[in-house]
Amino acid sequence: MTGTPAQDAYAPSDEFVAAANAGPELAEAAEADRLAFWGEQAARLHWHEPWTEVLDWTGAPVARWFVGGKLNVAYNCVDRHVIDGHGDQVAIHWEGEPGDSLDLTYSELLAEVSKAANYFTEIGLTAGDRVAIYMPMIPEAIVSMLACARLGLTHSVVFAGFSPTALRQRVDDAEARLVITTDGQWRRGKSAPLKEAVDEALYANGDVPHSVEHVLVVRRTGVEVPWTEDRDVWWHETVANASPEHEAQPFDAEQPLFILYTSGTTGKPKGIVHTSGGYLTQTSYTHHYVFDHKPGKDVYWCTADIGWVTGHSYIVYGPLSNRVTQVVYEGTPNSPDEHRHWNIVEKYGVSIYYTAPTLVRTFMKWGRQIPQAHDLSSIRLLGSVGEPINPEAWRWYREVIGGNKAPIVDTWWQTETGAIMISPLPGVTATKPGAAMGTLPGISAKIVDENGNDVTLGEKEANGYLVLDQPWPSMLRGIWGDPERYKATYWERYAEQGWYFAGDGARYDEDGALWVLGRVDDVMNISGHRISTAEVESALVGHHSVAEAAVVGANDETTGQGIVAFVILKGSAENTGDALIDELKAEVSRSISPIAKPREIHIVPELPKTRSGKIMRRLLRDVAEGRELGDTSTLVDPKVFEDIKSR
Ligand code: WT7
């Protein structure tokens, strides 16, 4: 291995090891008997009725975990802690964007969740009904999720940055009976309307969805809202007046808990379905061990939004099941200025901080003098999620934010996996900058080639596909309303072996450490957000000037990938240059979300295609990333692309 710099690994300090939740015995127990191990982890929860079997895989690829067991997810996240005498512990230090804040104890949270549950019952919702939640990061959003869980209602949280079109698509697909929203949301000091977007979604094309009976609105910014009598109600006039007493009923371990839509390789988002017992077991287990969380001592902060799975699993369910005290922050990291996160860390004494690499790189760009102006000594553990973290960002994160001592956990997982699958265990694993290291105890993965053969350890070229070769408790149970797509997307590629195809490339290095390399399909990763090329293409083609569009994810220093689009105009369209490009960018932003707005759009006379008519994305990526172009023989005018490349 001459010429390669020695790879540094950071072993946990003796002090950290001595107090760590995890030890080597965890993996030993899982290896000795995997299912018994998961049974022990499930015992972290309160079960109204015990299960009779840990796993039933006879209906593969649809698993049933903790068969026959009954539990209430909200009881586990709230009531239990109050009953155990921790009602006065702060559950949520909520920090609003404009500077307002609120502490919510477990007793207060219980009262709020009970009120919402009583109101949802009063309007006739019953177990199994779907509720859409389209809200910014305010306590009522978390209360709404927990109230659904308490009643066996299935929530579908839609990121409040998504467009009315995206909301409508999700409301219709899940046939939601109730939509919960706010009047507006704070965005960098300004109130952006949200209820208005709901109305636009629900009246799209003049056609009203048959499923929605109620729209429940929380007053947040005070902005004026459109109103539909008999359908719309204010939270402060309904939920707020409901009884704070509510008895939680047990539900089956496989009761659907939520649907969360995520991008696949086609334009239509997939409604990923998660259920209760297995999901809560694995989110609770991973939150406890991966974050080394000590209830009543740590102050935890996951900077995600509840619109994404990270918010579901590592703000709501995992942490609250473990009696966390956590920060929930409503706004952006530079509101009012770039000191915001560090002010919050100081204010609450945050000890565990979990964020995405894209934000770490943004902090790097802003400069280390900003965090260094603060006392960050409370931080004792750092987490990363959403995309591969480059070694440079990893080192900066450890040194500047972690004071050269906090271990970093680089956690690989997906909306579909529900909880962390691959990550170092703090106190056990010596970590390498940029590597997710290995599977957690109880989880099994492989890196294989096209035919399912193991790739060889340590060979530089030995990149392979990441597969999960054993079912896990928090695995998705399907795609809402589309069992065929579930099978085709995840289980067809390695049908013979019965493995789950994750869609990521990965490799083992010479020491056996696992590195996740990124998506191998047409899914892009922009600032840790998953966006399919097909979705953006269909938004572009939705514009009256566009005949054809091809989209690729190109390397981007800050956001991981940036969206680069190539469009062919219709013969009738007038090419107004930059004006048209701006209009097309706005169209994508409007029809999907500002996060999907292309970084660049190039108007081209043709697109490179294979003989069979498939767009040659690799060539477009070479163009977008300024590389030498390979075979351009299918192009009538390669010069157009050479010119774009050299810009
Ligand atoms: C995709 C899943 C997991 C919650 C947030 C994203 C990428 C995620 C890592 C990581 C390298 C990662 C993968 C994965 N990804 N975490 N630690 N290292 N890549 O959830 O939107 O479902 O996206 O994010 O490509 O497949 P998601």
Q: Respond yes or no on whether the N-terminal peptide bond of residue 61 is cis (omega within 30° of 0).
A: yes
Q: Which of 525, 529, 531, 535, when mutated, tests ligand 1's pocket best, judged by the most ligand atoms within 8 Å of its CB? A: 525
Q: Rounding to the nearest 10 degrees, give the CA dihedral for residues 21, 27, 29, 34.
A: 120
Residue type, 148: C
Give pLDDT, residue 271. Answer: 98
Please check the confidence at residue 499 and state whether its pLDDT lies above 80: yes
ipTM exceeding the 0.90 mark: yes
Question: Residue 3: pLDDT band by 50, 70, 90 thresholds?
Answer: very low
Distance 128 CA to ligand 1 centre (A): 29
Radius of gyration from C-alpha coordinates of the chain: 24
Distance 635 CA to ligand 1 centre (A): 35
pTM of the model: 0.93
Question: Residue 642: pLDDT band by 50, 70, 90 thresholds?
Answer: confident
- What percent of the chain is predicted at pLDDT more than 90? 85
At 589-637, the pLDDT tens digits run 998 999 999 999 999 998 888 777 778 888 899 999 988 887 787 777 8
Residue type, 136: P
CB 355 within 8 A of CB 314: no
The span from the CA of 317 to the CA of 74, in Å, is: 9
Protein residue with its CA nearest to atom 12 in ligand 1: 387
Please check the confidence at residue 433 and state whether its pLDDT lies above 60: yes
Q: Which of 465, 530, 532, 535, when mutated, tests ligand 1's pocket best, judged by the most ligand atoms within 8 Å of its CB? A: 530
Please give the number of the atom of ligand 1 that sits closest to the Cα of 529. Answer: 21
Give pLDDT, residue 17. Answer: 97
Please check the confidence at residue 1 and state whether its pLDDT lies above 70: no
Distance 276 CA to ligand 1 centre (A): 22
Protein residue with its CA nearest to atom 1 in ligand 1: 414
Give pLDDT, residue 297. Answer: 98
Give pLDDT, residue 460. Answer: 64
Q: Which strand (E) or helix (H) includes residue 108?
A: helix 106-122
Protein residue with its CA nearest to atom 2 in ligand 1: 414
Please check the confidence at residue 130 and state whether its pLDDT lies above 50: yes
Q: Which of 359, 387, 465, when mutated, tests ligand 1's pocket best, judged by the most ligand atoms within 8 Å of its CB? A: 387
Please give the number of the atom of ligand 1 that sits closest to the Cα of 410. Answer: 17
Please give the number of the atom of ligand 1 that sits closest to the Cα of 313. Answer: 4
The span from the CA of 178 to the CA of 122, in Å, is: 13
> CB-based contacts of 86: which residues, under 8 Å, 6+ apart?
106, 295, 296, 323
Question: Residue 232: pLDDT band by 50, 70, 90 thresholds?
Answer: very high
Please give the number of the atom of ligand 1 that sits closest to the Cα of 423. Answer: 17
Q: Which of 283, 409, 414, when mutated, tests ligand 1's pocket best, judged by the most ligand atoms within 8 Å of its CB? A: 414
Looking at residues 298-324, what average pLDDT do you find? 98
The span from the CA of 500 to the CA of 494, in Å, is: 7
Give pLDDT, residue 171. Answer: 97
Question: Residue 7: pLDDT band by 50, 70, 90 thresholds?
Answer: low
Please check the confidence at residue 147 and state whether its pLDDT lies above 90: yes
Q: Which residues line ligand 1 (CB under 6 A)?
A: 262, 309-310, 385-388, 410-415, 436, 502-504, 516, 518-519, 525, 530
Q: Alpha helix (H) ranges present in 542-603? A: 578-591
Average per-residue pLDDT in the chain?
Answer: 94
The residues facing 479 across adjacent strands are: 272
Looking at residues 250-274, what average pLDDT do you find? 93
Please check the confidence at residue 510 and state whether its pLDDT lies above 60: yes
The residues facing 562 across adjacent strands are: 554
At 513-530, the pLDDT tens digits run 999 998 888 899 999 898
Question: Residue 639: pLDDT band by 50, 70, 90 thresholds?
Answer: confident
- What percent of the chain is predicted at pLDDT more than 70? 98
CB 476 within 8 A of CB 65: no
At 543-586, the pLDDT tens digits run 999 988 999 999 999 999 999 999 999 988 999 999 999 999 99
Of the candidates 632, 636, 612, 633, the residue with the CA atom closest to the CA atom of residue 620: 632
Residue type, 411: T
Task: Point out the least confidently predicted range of 152-166, 323-337, 449-463, 598-612.
Answer: 449-463
Protein residue with its CA nearest to atom 24 in ligand 1: 386
At 96-115, the pLDDT tens digits run 999 999 999 999 999 999 99
The span from the CA of 604 to the CA of 586, in Å, is: 19
Please give the number of the atom of ligand 1 that sits closest to the Cα of 517. Answer: 11
Q: Which two tokens stand for residue 542?
A: 């939705």
DSSP letter (8 states) at residue 178: E
- The 10 Å Cβ neighbour count of residue 85 is 9
- The 10 Å Cβ neighbour count of residue 14 is 7
Please check the confidence at residue 461 and state whether its pLDDT lies above 70: no
SS3 477: coil
The span from the CA of 579 to the CA of 559, in Å, is: 25
Q: What is the 3-state secondary structure (H, E, C) of 123-149?
A: CCCCCCCEEEEECCCCHHHHHHHHHHH
Category of 458 on φ-ψ map: left (φ > 0), alpha (ψ -120 to 50) or beta: left
Looking at residues 452-460, what average pLDDT do you find? 81
